[in-house]
Structures are given as C-alpha cells and as structure tokens.
A and B are shown apart, each in its own frame.
Chain A
C-alpha cells in the first residue's frame, strides 16, 4: 500500500513540467564553482542578454508587436545607471535599480505612444527610427561622453542600517544577483502569461480587430505591454552597466536590436524558455565561430559562418530550438511507418 503511494508520488513529481527549468537554475547557480573565470563571465553576459530577450518576448511573442528598436530601452537604462551614480561613493541598490527601471519604462511609454499609431511594417520602421534617435542623442552630444562612452565609477550595493547585504563589486555576489533577477523576471512574465492581461495580449496577436469588437481597448493594452517590456529591458541595461563599469553608444545601435530579435527566433518565438535558450545559443555560436582553436586564421572572418548560420537557422528552424524535438519527431515519424 505504502509502496503504491510512493510510486504515485514519484510519477507525479517526475511529471512536473518545471524540472528542466529547476535543473537549469541549479546548474547556473553551481557553475561559478566549477567554471574558469572567463567562462563564468560569459555565462553572466548571457544571463543579462536572456533578461533582455525575455523582455522583448513579451512584445514579439505574446503581443505580436515586432519592435526593431528595443535596444533603446536597454541603452537608456545603462546610461541612466552611469549618469545617476555619484562619482566617489557606491550608490544604493535600493533606489538606483527602481529608478533606472522607471526611467526606461517612462521612455518606453513616451516612445510607444508614438509608435503604436503605426501598424505592421510601418511599426517596425518607426521603432527603428526612435531607437536611432536615442542612439544619435548619446552618440553625437556631449551628454554622456559621446562616441567614447562613459565610466560607471563605483558599483552599487544594498545596505541596511549600515550593514552591507549585497555588494555588487564582488563578482560572485553580482553573478548571483543577476541569476536572482533572471529568475524573477522569468517568473513575472510567466505569471503575466497566465493572467487576464496576458490572455488579452495573446488575443491581440491573434486578431486585433476581433478583440476591439469584443470591447478591449487594444491601444491601451499594447501600450502597457510596450512600457512593461521597456522597463524589463531596463533591468538588463542596469546589469550591463554595472558589470562592465563602462557604457558606450553602440549598445543602442540597431545591430543590438537585430541581435536580440535573432535570439528570439533562434530559441523559438512564443515561449519564455525559447528566449533564454536563444540567448545562450547566440552567444555560443559567436564564441564558436570566433574560436581560433577551431578555425585558426579564418576565425577573424567569423561573421561569415555566423551570417550563414543565421540564414540557415531562420530558414530551416523557423520555430526555433524549442520546436526542434517536435520537428524531429515529425521528420522521423514517416520513416518509422515506412520501415
């Protein structure tokens, strides 16, 4: 009798769909203890990019709004972090992070209010235009160091009554802080996905006219999604500024916006884990093609295999890595039946 209960418990536990995610989180948490410091840095960068990709997934995957200017909010947040930090004392995480996220969200609200008046391909173009505008503001003016960028002089920390709880100058602490933020953003987006708001966004992606006919103020919902996505991109921007201690206008360039769209499509549009997988896949591909150990002198032309890989991935795996098992099954099935 007891054994039967035990067997049912095991079956239910193994049927929990959260296992892959839990294993991933634990693996990421343990990695700094086993990996060399360069590879830990790489994973850290990828986690930050994952947060960036997740924020865009809300727009592209869930709401169906293809934004080609998402790097603007990433960059605005990174620059805000550098500009708001005092030059000699460590700023407090408690106000800096929320302030930076709020600034990014406000920028998204303002830009979204304009862009969402456009539809389809015009929307893509207008988001690109606004991102370029922000790029030129930071690139051409002396507001924040121009083309050479500016430094973040002291990294922030979180203190309570004089006791430092979280000091981001410590690389280990920073790694775990990033991991925690990644998990939080993922959880937030997963919750939104299951909420009424999330379902409304999905409905807008499916058929906006129908949603309007059903009485939803679609413009409001889209603007809310745009603002939220901008704010979450701000979290990634904040982490980027703190990690490097240096910001430059190139993080706002349209190449960044393109790269993050690429990550989404690589991983699979429409799923949260696709966004994270896509970020890891993209970084891995770049490292692979730049590796001199594998390609020798040809490694300096790494953009060629990367470009070909991009074309191949989009052409052959349009639904991304997450859909790979299904694709393979469908590929194998006729063979099984034939055999």
Chain B
C-alpha cells in the first residue's frame, strides 16, 4: 500500500516539476543589454534614453511579449576604442537577447559590426550614423531615432524657403557633423540656395572665435551649425557674443538647442531649428507621455527620452508578435519592420533600412522651450545609400 502511494506521490511530483520547469522556462526573463554613456559629456543623454525605455516597459506591467525584462548595463563612455570590448561584455558575458544603444556615432559603428558578426538584435535609440542604415544595414539592426541626414535636409529646405541664397556651414569634423551638413546642402539646393563655405574644427574642440571672425568676413545670408552638448552651448553663446545673431540668422538641427537652453539663456532666443520632436506638440500621446515621465522622474522629457521610449515600443511590438520567443528571429524582425509606432513625436513607420520615416518639425526657441511651429517636412525618409536590403 505504502509503496503504491509513494510511487504515485513521486509520479505526481515529477509531473508537477515538469510542468513547473516548462512553465518556468516560459516565465524566464528577456535579457536587455543597455550600452549607453553613463559618464562623460553625453551622460545626461544616456540617462534620458534609459528612463524613456524603462517607462514604456513599466507601462506594459514590466513585461514585453509577456515576459519580464532583466536589464544589464554597460557604460560605453562615448569611446569608440572601447566599443567592441564593451558590447562583447553584454553579448558574451551577460548573454543578452537584445542590445540597446548608443548615443555616439563612432561607438555605434563598432557595435553594428559586432552585431552583424554575431547576429545579435540591436536597437539604436540615438546615434544617427548613416552607415548603420546604409552600407552596414542588416535585418537585426534597427533604429528608433533619426539619421544625421534627416534634420539637416529639413533645415536646408526651410532655410532656402526663407530666402537664404549664400550659406556658411560650421561643424565638428566627424561623421555626424559631415552627414548633417550634407543633408542640409541637399535640402538647401532643392530650395534654391547654395553653401559657399564649409568650416570645420576637430571634435571636440570649442575654440570658435577665429572661425566666427571668418564667418563675419564672408557675410553670408545664414549660417548652419551642427553641434551637440557642451559644444552647442558654447557655439550659440559665442555666436551671440560676436554680435552675428543680429544680422545673420543661425540655423541648425534640434541638437543645437535641445537640453542646452538653460545654459544658453538669452543667446538662443528666437532661434529656428528642425527636429523630429518639439515642445508643445498637439499629439495626445505626447501629452500623456510628458505627464507620466514627469511623475516618474521629476523632470521634463527630451527627444532622447522619446527615442528610448520608442525603442522599447518597437521591441515590444516585435516580442508581442512572437509571444516572447526570441529564438523566432525572422518573425520578430518582420513584425518590427511592419510596425507603426505610436510615438510621442507622432506616429511613424520604419523604412526598408530600418530607420524611422517621420515628420520633421520646425521649432522656435521661446524661453526654455523649443516650441513647435508646424511641420517642416512630412514623412521624411532617409535615402539609405549603400544599403542592400
């Protein structure tokens, strides 16, 4: 009698364990590797991106595709030379299912190479390097932000439409700067203007005084500048201090005035910039997003937070389609490609090269806000030159 009861009990236990094991397997967490700058000049951007990402996951009850998320973080320090080692920490040491990152274009180029070689899913929440949706494009690489060309092109069209015939460009000599200026040139040409001079200085040099003198001597109709972070703060202030802003309008992509207005103060007032996000947008999702973000993090969101939020959204859509089974890569990718992302910036879709096709807004600096003045270019897609997808 006892024997049979024991056997039955054992059998029950075994069955229960099997169910539990099977269930536990389905309940195991999805590993998300965040490779962002947590130190250095872009630290604030990295934090904003992570905040946005986590906010979306929280709104879904802490799960994407029905599974909980486990986060792994690596500080990339915006250093391209350490990028390969850093992303390998996430892929080989932590065995993440997807990598989300980063801000700096040079770092993301190295990440894209490793992602291609190891076939790891990579979602880029900022870096606009055209190479990753150009020659290095791949089915497993997505971007939720922009390509450097997009805001530049939009600004070029606006500048041309506002009567600028001769324009001087100024930027740092690196991929993001070059690509932004190229986009501007194309847009300006389409609207009937031309760039007469390209000024550059090495990244991250901020001694602008000599170049500002050069601009004054050239007497153009307008100036297009691409800088970000500390460089943006300094340039706008120096431009005003040199008195150039009274006679020569300064244009630029939104990075020139995003997150920098408190420091730039009076020097930036009235400046026009173009970006895929702005303050005071008439988008219901944006109003809800701003309220939730403010409650969760006690600060106002910026374009970087929106990009992080949308990266999570994109990933969530894909994971929902495969019910959390990351091994079904092809279906996951297909779902992400077809996704329509309900973003605070306004809904957008992805191009064939996996870059957002989105509205670019014209913004004006009023106080400490970049107020939207309407859409500069609607549904702008990056030309994705060199991508064979």
Contacts and interface: CB of A to CB of B under 8 A. Distances in A.
A235 interface: no
A147 B93 CA distance: 28
B79 interface: yes
A290 B352 CA distance: 39
Interface in B111-146: 113, 117, 129
Contacts of B88: 38, 41
B79 A250 contact: yes
Contacts of A249: 81
Interface on chain B toward A: helix, strand, loop, or mixed SS? helix
Interface in A287-327: 292, 300
A300 B202 contact: no
Contacts of A139: 202-203
Interface in A205-261: 243-246, 248-251
Given A246-B113, A248-B106, A300-B75, A140 B92 contact: no
B105 interface: yes
B110 interface: yes
Contacts of B92: 36-38, 41
Interface string A149-162: 10100000000000
A292 B71 CA distance: 13
Nearest to B73: A292
B38 A147 contact: no
B320 interface: no
A314 to B, nearest CB: 24
B110 A146 contact: no
A149 B75 contact: no
A244 B110 contact: yes
A45 interface: yes
B89 interface: yes
Given A36-B93, A37-B92, A149-B106, A250 B175 contact: no
Contacts of A148: 80, 105-106, 109, 129, 174-175
A130 interface: no
Interface in B176-233: 202-203
A251 B75 CA distance: 18
B109 A149 contact: yes
A39 B93 CA distance: 8
A174 interface: no
A329 B75 CA distance: 41
B75 A140 contact: no
Interface residues of B, number: 27
Contacts of A176: none
Nearest to B108: A148
Contacts of A149: 80-81, 106, 109-110
Contacts of A186: none
A78 to B, nearest CB: 10
A48 to B, nearest CB: 11
A110 to B, nearest CB: 24
Contacts, number: 69
B39 interface: yes
B235 to A, nearest CB: 18
A245 B88 CA distance: 13
Contacts of B113: 151, 245-246
A140 B105 CA distance: 16
B81 A38 contact: no
Contacts of B75: 300
Contacts of B73: 292
Nearest to A246: B110
Contacts of B38: 300
Contacts of A243: 84
Between B73, B79, B105, B106, the greatest number of chain A beta carbons within 10 A of the residue's beta carbon is seen for B106
Contacts of A136: 202
A246 B83 contact: yes
Contact of A140 (B93, B109, B202): B202
A147 B109 contact: no
Given A140-B202, A151-B113, A300-B38, A146 B89 contact: no
Between A37, A146, A249, A300, the greatest number of chain B beta carbons within 10 A of the residue's beta carbon is seen for A146
Contacts of B84: 243-246
Contacts of A248: 80-81, 83, 106, 110
Contacts of A245: 84, 113, 117
Nearest to B117: A245
Nearest to B176: A148
Interface of A: 36-39, 41, 45, 136, 139-140, 146-149, 151, 243-246, 248-251, 292, 300
Chain A to chain B: the 7 pairs with minimum beta-carbon distance, closest first: A38-B93, A250-B81, A248-B80, A148-B106, A38-B92, A244-B84, A147-B174
20 contacts: A36-B92, A37-B92, A41-B85, A140-B202, A147-B80, A147-B106, A147-B173, A147-B174, A148-B106, A148-B109, A149-B80, A151-B109, A245-B113, A246-B80, A246-B109, A246-B113, A250-B80, A251-B81, A292-B73, A300-B75
Interface of B: 38-39, 73, 75, 79-85, 88-89, 92-93, 105-106, 109-110, 113, 117, 129, 173-175, 202-203
Given A139-B202, A248-B106, 17 more contacts: A45-B85, A140-B173, A146-B173, A147-B106, A147-B174, A148-B80, A148-B106, A243-B84, A244-B84, A244-B110, A245-B117, A246-B80, A246-B110, A249-B81, A250-B82, A292-B73, A300-B39
